[in-house]
Every structure is written in structure tokens, then in C-alpha cells.
Amino acid sequence: MLFRLDTYQKGSQSSHEIRTIIVFFAYAIVTPTTATLFVNPSQLTPEAQENLKEAGWDVDGYENVIKRLEELGSKVKEANEEEKDTENDDADETQPKGEAKGKVLVDSKTSLAVAHALGEGHYHVARSSVADAKSIKNAAELEGFRNSHIRDGVALARYFAHLEEHLSGPEQPKWSEYQAAQVLERYRSELELFKGLSFTTISSTGPNGAIIHYSPAEEGSAEIKKEQIYLCDSGAQFLDGTTDVTRTWHFGTPTEEEKRAFTRVLQGHISIDTAVFPSGTTGYILDAFARRALWADGLGIHGTGHGVGHYLCVHEGPQGIGTRIAYNDTKLKEGMVLSNGITPIDSSSCRTVLIQIIVAEPGYYADGKFGIRIESIVLVRKVSTPNDFGSRGYLGFENVTMCPIQTKLVDPSLLNDAERKWLNDYHAEVIKKVGPELAKFGDSRAQVWLERECAAI
């Protein structure tokens, strides 16, 4: 079996995300009796080399993988030819006569060079079993996600409270998008088990919020203004979990257009969060749940959510929620972790799309005006239902992101009773879990802000 160790979703990582992923570029070849890691030796510390040796791994240079694959392909060919020569009447009748039985399993995301090295007929292409295995988190990893998101919520509360005060005060100059992102990183760096960012912070104000994967430059990024919507998509790597959260704020007085768009995005977010579905359902099917509220206003959606790794890549497959055909090949299972977030497209401006993949992250992007997204991390869990049609068992989501959703941007007249209750219950949970941890920092400004933003509507 051959697989890559950098990321399952090869090609999905933007350049700024590559710089923040925890894993390294490598290939691995695993046989019934051997395991070989092909990696740049300079990336391995003496301790890592010793651990690999103790675990039974051989280490070879990254550049040698093609040569080794050619050798492996030749061995497979020889073994298959020997087996065909010894076929007799007692052979497995289900196997077509003369067909080679021995093959190398290669990941469907691997390169054409690998196929050429192994030789035609000597490999079988399939999704990596490694990706499938790590998509389902164990109990310790799931608990780590819960705890890391509570701590992350502390940093977010301190940051947004600080930003709001700075924008409302007389201090000049105001923060640029880049400066604000640095403040958020500083607050995160004070948290226990923090190891770095999970991707470069998308700190965007006004029309920049509608730009695909916007990343503010150190020089020349826009000044954040209280009269404009501010979208912040950020995350951190903790030893016990990876976070990815987007919240949209208005520090002045939002327009009716902004409030309506925000509320529709919120409704899509709630629809995914509260979904109950039979075991075996795919994210491709669930995607329609997120679209309904935005369709009601004639808006399209580009994507909904992506898988998330545990102290690994913030974008991790194969699970996801969206219209990608690949998402229809992966059944959601208990223990998977995804983002809940919709990425809608204004029907009058199809250029303004932001690709998101299972994080719950609904969004709306008005070209040249503003961007809106609400993104949280959800865990797939078993749920109890009055019935169990087909004896399949039913699943739902557990939201672990602990950061308020700004009610000032909500149009309450668009919410039904269940949606209003969801929002109030969510904020009560944020106060309950984040409040005590925030109190440890003695940040009264953030404490007041958190209580106000979590007030019931």
C-alpha cells in the first residue's frame, strides 16, 4: 500500500494554509512485512528517527520513492507470473483465469508518476484506508476538540471585546486587518497547549469579506471601520485539538440588507446543526439542509462544510458537506468531525464565492460590499429517535465551537420559535463553558462583552 502523509485533500490547501499545517511531505510504502517512510532526512529530529526505528519503520530519502516503486512493480509482476504458471483446476473459480491477483493499493489522490513507476496492471486505485481511519476520532480526540474549543472561545471573546472597544474609542489610527489578526494571535498564544495557527487568519472588513480566501498583507491592508461588516475566519493548533471558526460582526448600525443576509446564513447554519439523519447518509445529501433558507431569497451556495483533523490539517477528507461528488462517496459516521458553514453565492454576482468544505460555515458574499459567514465545528454523534426505521440508527451533530453569534445582525422577524430557541440555548452554553475559563484571565472587558453578546433575544 502506498499513501502520502502530507494531506488527504491534496491540492485543496491554499498557500497560506500550507505554512501552518502540522504534518510533513512524505510517502510511505507498507507491505505485509515492512514499512518504509520516504522523507527529507533534515525534517526528522534524532528523537523522531529513534521513535520510527522502535516502531519498525525504515527511513529513505524522499527522492528515492520512484525507484523503490519501480522495484516493487517488478516484484509484483514476477510474483503474478509465477502464480499464473502454477494455476490448476483447484484454483479459485471466482478469479478470472490469467488475471494478476497481486497488486499495490495506491491512493486515488496520488500522481501519474506513481502509476508509471509501478507499471500498468500492477496497482489498484482506491481511497486511502489511512484517510478513512483518521476521519473517525476516538474518545480522547473528541474530548480534546471540546476542551480546545472552550479555550479558543476565551481568546475570541478577549479579542472581539478589545476590537470593539478600540473601534468605539478616540484612539487613532484604527487597526488594520493585519494588525487585528496579530492581536488575535497574541491572545491565542496565551492559552494552554497552544502550538500555532491552523491557517493564516482571514481578517477582512467591508468588501474584502467577499474575496476568496482573503489574507491581509502586513503592508497596505484595509483599516477596520465600525460602519462596515467585519468577517474573521481563524483557527489554532492545540495539542489536544484543531480549531476553525468564523464569526461576522458589525460594530456600528447594520443595514436591513446586511441583517437579512446574516439571518439567512444563520438559518442555514442552524439547519445543519439540528439535522437528524439515518446512519449511512452522506454530506452530499445533507447539503440541501443548508441551502433552504438562502434559496428562499434566491441565493445560491457554493459549499457548506469540510472535515477537520485532530492536531493535523484543518482541511481533512474524505468527509464533507457539499455538492462535490466525492462527498457522496463518504457516509457520515459517529466520531467524524466537520465544519458547519454555508458559502452562498449572490445570484447577481457569481464571481464572489468562497470555497468551504465539514465545518458548519454558511456564508453570503455581496461583491464589492461585504461578506458574511458563520462557521462552527461539529462532531457526528448518535441520537435517540422515537423510531428506528430500517434498524439503521440515527445521527446528529454536537457543536463544539464556543463563540457568540452577533444578535445585532439578526432580524428576529425571520426566525421561527425553534430557531430562536436554538440561538438562545447556544449562547447559554457558551456562557456556561467559556465564562469560568475567561474569569481566570481577569479580563473584565471581555467578561462584560461575553455576557452582553450571549443575552437572550
Q: Which helix (H) or strand (E) holds 235?
A: none
CA distances from 416 to 196, 341, 409 (A): 40, 20, 16
At residue 15, the pLDDT reads: 44
At residue 343, the pLDDT reads: 56
Q: Which amino acid is at 295?
A: W
Choose between 215 and 249: higher pLDDT: 249
- The dihedral sign for the CA sequence 223, 376, 323, 105: positive
pLDDT at 98 over 60: no
In 3D space, the residue among 228, 237, 128, 145 whose CA is nearest the CA of residue 180 turns out to be: 228
Tell me how far the alpha carbon of residue 10 is from its chain's centroid: 14
Are 291 and 268 contacting, i.e. CB atoms less than 8 angstroms apart?
A: yes
In which band, very low, low, confident or very high, does the pLDDT at 342 lie, cut at 50, 70 and 90? low
In which band, very low, low, confident or very high, does the pLDDT at 169 lie, cut at 50, 70 and 90? confident
Lowest pLDDT segment from 121-125, 209-213, 450-454 = 209-213
pLDDT at 360 over 80: no
pLDDT at 352 over 90: no
Lowest pLDDT segment from 100-104, 152-156, 244-248, 249-253 = 100-104
At residue 363, the pLDDT reads: 66
Q: Which helix (H) or strand (E) holds 395?
A: strand 394-399
Choose between 321 and 85: higher pLDDT: 321
pLDDT at 358 over 60: no
At residue 357, the pLDDT reads: 26
CA distances from 399 to 114, 152, 245, 377, 410 (A): 40, 14, 11, 6, 20
| Dist CA 418 CA 117 (whole Å) | 57
pLDDT at 402 over 90: yes
Domains of the chain: 2-126 (3.40.350.10), 139-453 (3.90.230.10)
The most confident of the ranges 21-35, 137-151, 290-304 is 137-151
In 3D space, the residue among 48, 3, 14 whose CA is nearest the CA of residue 314 turns out to be: 14
* Phi, psi (degrees; rounded to nearest 5) at 8: -65, -40
Location of C-alpha cell 426566525: 415
At residue 349, the pLDDT reads: 33
Mean pLDDT of 356-376: 70
CA dihedral 109, 10, 341, 135 (to 10 degrees): 60
pLDDT at 28 over 80: yes
pLDDT at 347 over 90: no
At residue 41, the pLDDT reads: 85
At residue 362, the pLDDT reads: 57
Q: Is 457 exposed, middle or buried (0-12, 13-18, 19+ CB in 10 A)?
A: exposed
Mean pLDDT of 307-321: 92
**Do strands 236-238 and 194-197 pair parallel, antiparallel, or not at all (unpaired)?**
antiparallel
- Interacting residues of 223 by C-beta distance below 8 A, sequence separation 6+: 173, 174, 175, 176, 177, 205
- Interacting residues of 69 by C-beta distance below 8 A, sequence separation 6+: 2, 29, 104, 114, 117, 118
At residue 99, the pLDDT reads: 38
In which band, very low, low, confident or very high, does the pLDDT at 341 lie, cut at 50, 70 and 90? confident
At residue 324, the pLDDT reads: 84
Mean pLDDT of 88-104: 53
pTM: 0.88
Choose between 309 and 366: higher pLDDT: 309
pLDDT digits (tens, 9 = 90+) for 144-166: 999 999 999 999 999 999 999 99
Location of C-alpha cell 493585519: 178
Residue 348: CA count within 13 A, CB half-sphere: 5
In which band, very low, low, confident or very high, does the pLDDT at 255 lie, cut at 50, 70 and 90? very high
pLDDT digits (tens, 9 = 90+) for 47-73: 999 999 999 999 999 999 999 999 999
Choose between 43 and 92: higher pLDDT: 43
- Interacting residues of 255 by C-beta distance below 8 A, sequence separation 6+: none
The Cα angle at residue 20 between residues 241 and 337, in degrees rounded to 5: 35
* Phi, psi (degrees; rounded to nearest 5) at 133: -65, -45
Location of C-alpha cell 461528488: 325
pLDDT digits (tens, 9 = 90+) for 118-131: 998 899 888 888 88
- Give the rounded percent of residues in the chain with a pLDDT score beyond 70: 86
Are 352 and 345 contacting, i.e. CB atoms less than 8 angstroms apart?
A: yes
pLDDT at 196 over 50: yes
Are 279 and 395 contacting, i.e. CB atoms less than 8 angstroms apart?
A: yes
CA distances from 289 to 263, 395, 423 (A): 15, 15, 17
Q: In what order do the strands lie in the sheet with 241-242?
A: 194-197, 236-238, 241-242
Choose between 318 and 433: higher pLDDT: 433
The most confident of the ranges 78-87, 254-263, 319-328, 448-457 is 448-457
- Here the cell at position 440 is 481566570
CB atoms within 10 A of CB 138: 10
